[in-house]
Amino acid sequence: MNKRLTLQAGWVFIAPSLFVLMVFFFGPVFLALIMSFSDFDIYSLADIDNLRWIGLDNYFKLVQTPLFWKALGNTFYLAIFGTPLSIAVSLGLAMALNVKNAPFKGFFRIVLFTPYVTTLVAAAAVWHFILDTRSGLLNQGLRLLGLEGLDWLGDPHYSLPAIILFSIWKSFGYNMLILLAALQKIPDELYEAATLDGANAWQRLLHVTLPGIMPSFWMVSLITLAGYFQLFAEPYVMTQGGPAQSTLTLMYFMYNEGFKWWNLGTASATAFVLFIMLLGISVLSPKNEAETKP
Amino acid sequence: MNRRQTLSLLMAAGLGACFKREDGMRIWAMGTEGEKIVPFIDAFNHKTTGPKFRSQALPWSAAHEKLLTAFAADNLPDVIALGNTWVSEFAALDALEPLNQYGIDTSNMFEAAVDNATIDGKLLGLPWYVETRLLFYRKDNLARAGFQNPPQTWAEWEAQLAALGKIGGNHKFGAFMPVNEFEPLVAFCLQSQNQILTHNATKGGFQTNGIKATFAFVKSLYDKGYAAILSGAEAPDLYASFGRGEFTFVITGPWNIAEMRKRLPADAQDKWATAPLPGPTGLGASILGGVSLGINKASTQKTAALELIKELTSVGVQAEFSKATADLPAVKPAWALAGLETDAKAHSFYQQLSLAKAPPKAPEWERIANEMAIAMERVVRGIQSLDEALAGLDDFANDILAKRRYMINLKGNSHE
């Protein structure tokens, strides 16, 4: 009896968020799944009677579309190169901020966190200027160093690296703070003991720091990885997916299918492919997290 | 919940967008025109006894998506400026009011522009401003190669390009034709006696003799080195290199008259001119572009909307608008009023517009046109043979147009 009462109270507490989730998340996701089995297009938009159920055809067509593979390839490129670089930058700066007695720590912490709280679209617009071939800050800096400037956003070879550069700048602040919190929890005694045992800085990083922050490290890595898989606004603002479709991500491909060509069936199918990939990534986490927990 | 409500909910959830209905009449227009239209709307509001209009400018890059989502949300403005390739799409949506019944005189407008806005016999918009693609060329280069006049036929053009290739130096390539632009290719295809899309634009016509010959002709321009194989991103700055005379021909649109005047160095200004496109046997057709003004079928104030689009397409307003924007008027008598008739560079556009043709009228057209450029790029880069590419284009078009065929069959059967 008592147990049933608490259960009911629990339901009452989660009801508001459950309601919101149902209406704005599970409902649309379910509708999108249904839609992915249809050929919803502008003709169906004109009259819903023009909609046809085509089963898995959208998925079969998708794997035969070269542009889908191109977008998938670009997305993997971003994830594979972007994630480790993002984490490395975040970890490096977190460790720098964790140095004992370093001056102006609070100031640097705020400054380094600032990019994360800027509006993405505004920041992307600013980076568009920074990356400009002729008058951009980055190329002028490279020229000062005696290097040839690159056509960052105009050359298919450098456009993805440019997007990664911007993404790292935009997102490292958040990861840095999480990693910093984890670093601060590692007791100093462990470092002292390791030093006494003759461990050098590299060994201390590998055997004390990393195991100490492993749960946070994994979480940050997975979130960053998932973030790269869902990258959209950066290329949308900076390159419109170009040049030569070199910055077309899976999300962007989906957007074009859905809202440019209005093939909502294909777009929904793409969304579910992405969904399954992200589901696969999130399955990675508990297992590894369990392993790393003492 | 009816269809529109369901869709609005989906839109709201999917895009996080929120459309707010406001009172008064609305007109949406794209780009510079969307901004430059403001004083004309003010003047109209001042004059009219009916409801007042408010204009809103949409950026070109987002306009198409915005219009479709607005349709889904049942929130299209009363008057809609539509890029000419979108007309058939909005016809498929049945979003536009047919104007035939209002007895509007379109005889003083460019025929291709009126044709472009006419779908299945229904006039769905009034041409507002027009554009087309033609040759911009360097007179000095051509003279050095021994020619006084721009080409009238493909054969003449090839002869000029061959001669230009022999001058050497900077003039390695006669023509500037980035492979990612579909417009020149489509323009040449429109000169063919065969149609790009056949059977009421429901099937690909890429393997017909005419289209095949056109593709072969454009391919030969790259193969023979008359045009460099460049995509837009790799291409050098058009104005700088045209200003230096590094190439002789470029196929582009009317906005570049103003751009060239602004960006080319002063000493190059008397060295360039414009000319209609050469065709297989004489001056040829080109692709018609531009923007038309349509009336939202769901508008409750169609009389007022009609009054506005009539005003915006009247001779006087067309001329003034052309002066404000440097756009080409869709109404022929406005050309003289805007001072365009005495401008030789603009006059070529008048000639070309009279020869221009509307691109195929299928909602899927833009996608097929994009694919044409991609196929041509594969051919000139040697990834695919011409025959494979054309067969691939037919497959692509037939696949994309499958739903359109189904729809037309459905409509045909219901009429019986």
Q: What is the distance in angstroms between the Cα of A135 and the nearest Cα belonging to chain B?
A: 15
In a domain, A229, yes or no: yes
Q: What is the ipTM for the molecules in this complex?
A: 0.73
Residue B262 · residue B158 · CB < 8 Å? no
Beta carbons within 10 angstroms of residue B125's beta carbon: 31
In a domain, A85, yes or no: yes
Q: Does A260 touch chain B (CB under 8 A)?
A: yes
In a domain, A51, yes or no: no
Would you call B231 and A243 a contact, using CB atoms and an 8 Å cutoff?
yes
Which of B5, B88, B234 would best serve as a mutation to test chain A binding (most A beta carbons within 10 A)?
B234
Would you call A42 and B14 a contact, using CB atoms and an 8 Å cutoff?
no
Percent of chain A past pLDDT 70, that is, above it, reads: 94
* DSSP bridge partners of B175: B227, B249
Per run of 10 residues, the mean pLDDT along chain B (length 416 residues) is 49 46 82 94 93 93 89 93 93 94 93 95 96 95 93 96 80 82 96 95 95 97 89 73 91 94 92 96 95 95 94 95 94 94 93 96 93 90 92 94 90 62
Q: Which residue of B has its CA nearest to A134?
A: B237
Q: Which residue of A has its CA nearest to B234?
A: A155
Residue burial A139-155, b: 16+ Cβ < 10 Å; e: rest: beeeeeeeeeebbbbbb
Q: Does residue B290 come out as left (phi exceeding 0), alpha (psi in the -120 to 50 range) or beta? A: left
Q: What domains lie within chain B, and their CATH numbers?
A: 3-131+289-355 (3.40.190.10), 134-287+362-407 (3.40.190.10)
Residue in B351, B408, B293 with CA at minimum distance from that of residue B53 = B293
Q: What is the distance in angstroms between the Cα of B27 and the nearest Cα belonging to chain A?
A: 22
What is the model's pLDDT at position A106? 85
Which of A262, A264, A266, A270 would best serve as a mutation to test chain B binding (most B beta carbons within 10 A)?
A262
What is the model's pLDDT at position A293? 45
Q: Which residue of B has its CA nearest to A154?
A: B233
What is the model's pLDDT at position A151? 77
In a domain, A56, yes or no: no
Residue A237 · residue A119 · CB < 8 Å? no
In a domain, A131, yes or no: yes
What is the model's pLDDT at position B246? 87
Q: Does B407 touch chain A (CB under 8 A)?
A: yes
User: HSE on the CB side for B263, CA within 13 Å?
Assistant: 14
Q: Which domain holds residue A264?
A: 61-292
Q: Does A48 touch chain B (CB under 8 A)?
A: yes
Would you call B92 and A43 a contact, using CB atoms and an 8 Å cutoff?
yes
What is the model's pLDDT at position B238? 87
For residue A249, the domain's CATH number is 1.10.3720.10
Q: What is the distance in angstroms between the Cα of A45 and the nearest Cα belonging to chain B?
A: 7
Q: Taking a contact as any Cβ pair under 8 Å apart, which residues of chain B between 343 and 382 contact chain A? A: 363, 367
pTM for the full predicted model? 0.80
Which of B15, B18, B93 would best serve as a mutation to test chain A binding (most A beta carbons within 10 A)?
B93
| DSSP state, residue B123 | E
What is the model's pLDDT at position A294? 43
Residue in A228, A265, A266, A260 with CA at minimum distance from that of residue A247 = A228
In a domain, A152, yes or no: yes
Would you call A42 and B92 a contact, using CB atoms and an 8 Å cutoff?
yes
Say which of A39, A41, A240 has its CB closest to residue B61. Answer: A240
Q: Taking a contact as any Cβ pair under 8 Å apart, which residues of chain B between 166 and 205 contact chain A? A: 180
Say which of A42, A48, A244 has its CB closest to residue B93. Answer: A42
Integer angstrom CA distances of residue B71 from B19, B77, B316, B403 = 11, 9, 32, 20
Q: Determine the residue type at A38.
A: S
Q: Determine the residue type at B341.
A: E
Supply the DSSP string of A192-255, one letter for each residue.
Answer: HHHHHTT--HHHHIIIIIHHHHHHHHHHHHHHHHHHHHT--HHHHHHTTT-STTTT--HHHHHH
Distance CA B292, CA B343 (A): 25
Count of structural domains within chain A: 1
User: In chain A, which stretches have pLDDT less than 70?
Assistant: 1-7, 242, 285-294
In a domain, A232, yes or no: yes
In a domain, A38, yes or no: no
Distance CA B323, CA B335 (A): 10
Q: What is the distance in angstroms between the Cα of B61 and the nearest Cα belonging to chain A?
A: 9
